[in-house]
Each structure stands twice: as structure tokens, then as C-alpha cells.
Amino acid sequence: MRTRTEPPGIGEAEGFLPILRADGTLTDVIELTTARLLLRRWRPEDREPLARINADPRVMEFFPAPLSREESDRQIERFERHFDEHGLGMWAVERRDLPGCIGRMGLLLAAFPAPFTPCVEIGWMLAAEHWGLGLATEGAREVLRHGFATLALDEIFSFTAVANARSRRVMEEIGLQHNPADDFDHPNLPEGNPLRRHVLYRSKRQDWLRNSDR
């Protein structure tokens, strides 16, 4: 059986094994909370708000294309399967002062061909009306804590199109490091696509432990 000290899912995207707790059991964390946010598993009523977010050109500016309702629904199914199979995943985000899903945030296994994959990626997306309030940074800090402290991951990565300044700011705020030598062309985007060039940010657990005040 794989232990938590082995890198998660080396090799095949399909063949990722679950990430385990320090005691060897599959993590059963269902939700995280911060001062203003709840990160929880997906519910049927999240399909409509997530589809709206995935269809908004402002939100999707740095993604290849907005998603259709069907693609968005399938994404939720993939997120749920990812939790069940790997013990980590992309949560639905709720504001604790408002009902309903306002976005997604969490950890995913990335396996596309690149020098740093397979790896665990931290990611986020919020409805545009909730931007600029520090919500992404607040949630991402807690997701990072979960990844390093609860799941004992050795390293967490994040990447985005070079021009995605808002997302890069969140990466920097939570302490991920950017080395321009790591920048890469995303293999899933065709040559000539302006989003193809990506920046890579990363943090090792040891650095997180040293630099954080938790």
C-alpha cells in the first residue's frame, strides 16, 4: 500500500493512488472553513451557479474557452470523483454570510506532460462579483495548510497563463515562489495561443513550515 511519504500518483493520470493521512488511512475531510468561507463537497444545487461562473467571459479570460452547461456539470462530477478516488479535490466555495456556491477552490492532481508533473496543484475560481475582497487569498491559505499540515504533501504547485495577474497575486500572497526558469508552455494549448505560456509557482512543506506563523 502506498504511504503518504511516496509522491502521489507518479506516472499515469488514471492510476493515481489515494493520498493518505499520517496514520495510513484515507483522508475523510469533507470541508474546510475560514473566517468568511466554507469549502465543501458539491451538491446538485451548485450546478446552476457553477455553470454561470464557468460561462462568464471575465472569469474565463485566462482559460481556453467558457464552458457550456453540460461541460460545467461534468466538471462537478469529475471533482467529486477526484475526492472519492484520491482523498483530495476541488471544493465548492460558499460565503458563510450568503447562501449558495460562489466558486471553486482546492487541490487537484496534475499529470499533463511537463517537467514538474505529476504533482498536486492548488487552484481557485470565484464569481466576479466576489473578487477584490481577499476571499481567494483567505481560502487558498487554508487549502495550503490542509495540503501541508493534514495531507503532509511534500510540495504544492500552482500555474496559470503569464498574464493572469490576479491569480499570480494570490499565489504570491500565500507564499508560493516563482522561478522564471520554471515557466513552461502548457501542452494542452496549441502553439500560437496567447495563453500557452505559463508561470509556475511552488512551495515545499519545509518552506511553508518555516515561513508560516501557524
Ligand X SMILES: CC(C)(COP(=O)(O)OP(=O)(O)OC[C@H]1O[C@@H](n2cnc3c(N)ncnc32)[C@H](O)[C@@H]1OP(=O)(O)O)[C@@H](O)C(=O)NCCC(=O)NCCS
For the bound state, the minimum distance from the C-beta of residue 150 to ligand X, rounded and expressed in Å, comes to: 22
C-beta of 27 vs 158, nearer to ligand X = 158
Q: Which grid cell sits at 202?
A: 511552488
C-beta of 135 vs 176, nearer to ligand X = 135
Residue 95: in which H helix or E strand, if any?
strand 90-95
C-beta of 9 vs 103, nearer to ligand X = 103
For the bound state, the minimum distance from the C-beta of residue 40 to ligand X, rounded and expressed in Å, comes to: 17
The rounded distance, in Å, linking the Cα atoms of 204 and 154 is: 6
Asked if residue 143 lies in contact with residue 103, where contact means CB atoms within 8 angstroms, the answer is no
C-beta of 131 vs 184, nearer to ligand X = 131
Asked if residue 166 lies in contact with residue 137, where contact means CB atoms within 8 angstroms, the answer is no
C-beta of 25 vs 33, nearer to ligand X = 33
Residues at the site binding ligand X, with contacts judged by CB under 6 A? 59, 62, 123-126, 131-137, 160, 164-167, 169-170, 173
For the bound state, the minimum distance from the C-beta of residue 137 to ligand X, rounded and expressed in Å, comes to: 3
Asked if residue 91 lies in contact with residue 40, where contact means CB atoms within 8 angstroms, the answer is yes
Q: Which grid cell sits at 78?
A: 469529475
Q: What are phi and psi for residue 201, nearest 5 degrees?
A: -120, 150
For the bound state, the minimum distance from the C-beta of residue 20 to ligand X, rounded and expressed in Å, comes to: 27
Residue type, 38: L
Backbone angle region of 100, left / alpha / beta, with phi > 0 → left and psi within -120 to 50 → alpha: left
For the bound state, the minimum distance from the C-beta of residue 90 to ligand X, rounded and expressed in Å, comes to: 12
For the bound state, the minimum distance from the C-beta of residue 82 to ligand X, rounded and expressed in Å, comes to: 17
Catalogue the E-assigned strands of 99-183: 101-110, 119-126, 155-161, 177-178
Only one residue has cell 466576479, namely 128
C-beta of 17 vs 108, nearer to ligand X = 108
